Structure 1
């Protein structure tokens, strides 16, 4: 039985790996073409290649569920086409035993996705975004097109670039009074974290008073705020690129500031349940091979896998934003497609058995 499990695992791993490489390559080429529209003297082709290369871990993570579905359909489809699955069944191997033999190698890709999502993607994507923001300008207020906004109490702030080592470029701050009137604005070329506060450098400040405006310049100035490099490392990334721990902590931070955190709650549940989503799609793939796709061509199997994957992702993409608009639980929005795939896979496998 070990040899049989190893044979199934090698077939599935090879098929999923090939599909994953093809899908990620197509995604990277599409991203490269999109970035070419922003090419400048500073943000040149080499910088674009570096940016796309740094975002590859995120693209791999995003494509794992779809690749697992199509790869399992391809791998098991080859075994079905050569009647090897029929021989296994004739030898007394149950459908559920074969399903577990397929699920075990799929767990390797699920584990790879967890490691990428928790430890690799937050770092590589931040480096990519910060590097792009730096080469596109950081020495003027609100100059960078990829800058970041944040609010803390009655103060709004904008950063042209955020580096992972606790250094900010192009810090613009707007302070408002209790009547929502602007009372001060400032711009600092850089800000460096000192452990319990930030030290702004080359600061220009404008104070708005009843008698007029006052201009001040400071070589350095302390800035006390609840923001720290850990929170800013979260701010620089899209919610889907953050780790589960960062999503949880930043959601709590937004709630403390009375800022809507539903988008980050949704990303939290989506990321937490992605391993189950991948497993449910693998279950669907196995049930299709033993059911409606047992005797069709390989091209039809791939086409069916693409359609199922698109429907699954589209349903999540529709239900997720709908939960933000209509106010129902993000957990429900993320789990419904997963549960549907899981139940459908179990029902089809029981019929095949």
Structure 2
């Protein structure tokens, strides 16, 4: 039985691997075309290739649930097409045993997803976004199409790029008073983090004094802020690309600043429950092979898997923002598609048994 389980697992994993390579390759080609339109004397071809290389782990992580579903349909479907599943059933192996044999590699994929999402993707995404922002901004002052915006107390802060290790580039700060009148604006070329705070270099500041302005400059300035390199590594990339621990700590920081943290809570629950979502999608894939897709072609199984996977992703993408607007908890928005998939899978398997 162990040899049979290894055989089923190998079929499923090999199919998932092939699907991942195809989907990732197509996505990187489309991304290359999109980035190539921005190539100039600063943002060169080598910068684009560097950016794509570091984006690859994040895209792999994002496509893993879809690839798990389609790979399960293809791998297990090939066994069904070759009548191997029929022989297994005739030999007295129950559907439950076959499902468990498929779930074992699915659990491995879910574990890989957790490790990638926690340790690989956040770092690679930060390097990718920072390298692109540095190449495009070229050390200039405010360029809002690149970098990140952040608000802290009465300051609005824009940072062109954040390097791993606690170095920032192009720091623009706008300070307002209680009447929301701007009192000063400053720009610093670079900043490094120390125990006392951020040490900004090449600082230029403009103070607004009623009917006149006062311009000053300094080679160095100490900026005390609640932003740490860890928190900056969080805000420089999209919430979905952050680590679970980073999302949790940043939601606490936003709460301390009196800012809305629901968007990051939604990303937190999406990442926490992604392994469960992978298992639910694989369960649907197994139930389809034993049910409605028992005797169809491989191409039809791939089309069905892509449709189900896209519906699952789109439902999560729609319910997530809807929860922020309507007001129900992001946990519920994340759980609904997973629960529906798991329910459909159990019902179809029960009918097949």
Deviations 1:261-292 (A, max 9, x none): 11101100111110011100000000011111
Q: Does 1:331 align with 2:331?
A: yes
What SS is found at the alignment partner of 1:296?
coil
1:195 Cα deviation (Å)?
2.1
TM-score (norm 1): 0.98
What residue number does 1:62 align with? 62
What residue number does 1:243 align with? 243
What residue number does 2:128 align with? 128
1:139 Cα deviation (Å)?
2.5
Q: In the aligned structure 2, how far is the partner of 1:147 from the partner of 1:15?
A: 38
What residue number does 1:213 align with? 213
Correspondence 1:292-303 to 2 at 5 A: 292-303=292-303
CA contact (8 A) 2:251 2:264 kept: yes
What residue number does 1:344 align with? 344
Q: Does 1:20 align with 2:17?
A: no
What residue number does 1:35 align with? 35
1:89 Cα deviation (Å)?
0.7
1:312 Cα deviation (Å)?
0.8
| Count, aligned residues | 353
What residue number does 2:264 align with? 264
1:33 Cα deviation (Å)?
0.9
1:255 Cα deviation (Å)?
1.1
Q: Does 1:191 align with 2:191?
A: yes
Structure 2 unmatched ranges of 5 or more: none
What residue number does 1:113 align with? 113
Q: Does 1:167 align with 2:167?
A: yes
Deviations 1:88-136 (A, max 9, x none): 1111111011000001011221111111100001111101111111111
CA contact (8 A) 2:58 2:125 kept: yes
Structure 1 unmatched ranges of 5 or more: none
CA contact (8 A) 2:42 2:138 kept: no
Deviations 1:295-334 (A, max 9, x none): 1111111111111111111111111111111111111111
CA contact (8 A) 2:137 2:146 kept: no
Q: Does 1:77 align with 2:77?
A: yes
1:211 Cα deviation (Å)?
5.2
What SS is found at the alignment partner of 1:136?
helix
Deviations 1:2-29 (A, max 9, x none): 1110111111111111111111111111
Root-mean-square deviation (Å):
1.0
What residue number does 1:9 align with? 9
CA contact (8 A) 1:138 1:161 kept: no
What residue number does 2:274 align with? 274
